[in-house]
Copies of this chain bind each other. A is one copy, B any other.
């Protein structure tokens, strides 16, 4: 009894991501997306539960692009690192979508695969229950927060870096010496910064792992 669907979810996801990549988050509009798909605005509502649903769809699309060499028998540290890097890579491939990923909760199975893998790897460090949850929040919060801070924090590396660093130089040097000093260090590549951060994090996970204590 159904009529054939004109589009697939993947088509919507691809079109939405293209819009976001090209025109920024404000470019993602029901109307714009519909136009890009060659249909009317209301058609989108047959595939998605309003604007919020669309945002969840985009989040899923990004998270689903996280791929890593899966080796369940390897060391948990190596695996946590691999998964974290994979998520970070996926997120960073669509910087304009980051606010969405931080904000829109997706319970899509695709989006939960990396989450489950991260939990599993952390569990292999001997954690469970509340300890496991804390460790998970540290890693996932770090990834999301790091990716976003790199774009809109006070210490920036990307585009606009000069403008912002210049405005930081206008701050009273007596009150903000470290900020002014560190602003110049933010010119390196984000990949290296992420690795340094992840290293600190893994050191902490290792030092406080139950596996280690017993």
Q: Is A33 an interface residue (CB 8 A)?
A: no
Q: Is the beta-carbon distance between A133 and B207 smaller than 8 angstroms?
A: no
Nearest B-chain residue to A198, judged by Cβ: B138
Nearest B-chain residue to A170, judged by Cβ: B107
Q: Is the beta-carbon distance between A141 and B138 smaller than 8 angstroms?
A: no
Q: Copies per complex? A: 2
Q: Is A168 an interface residue (CB 8 A)?
A: yes
Most central of A109, A137, A147, A154 by chain B CB within 10 Å: A137
Q: Is A3 an interface residue (CB 8 A)?
A: no
Q: Is the beta-carbon distance between B144 and A185 smaller than 8 angstroms?
A: no
Cα A142 to Cα B205 in complex, Å, equals: 14
What residues on B are CB-neighbors of A167 within 8 Å? 107
From B112, B129, B140, B193, contact of A130 by CB (8 A): B193
Q: Which one of A15-23, A37-45, A69-77, A116-124 is at the interface? A: A116-124
- CB of A45 to closest CB in B, whole Å: 19
Q: Is the beta-carbon distance between B203 and A207 smaller than 8 angstroms?
A: yes
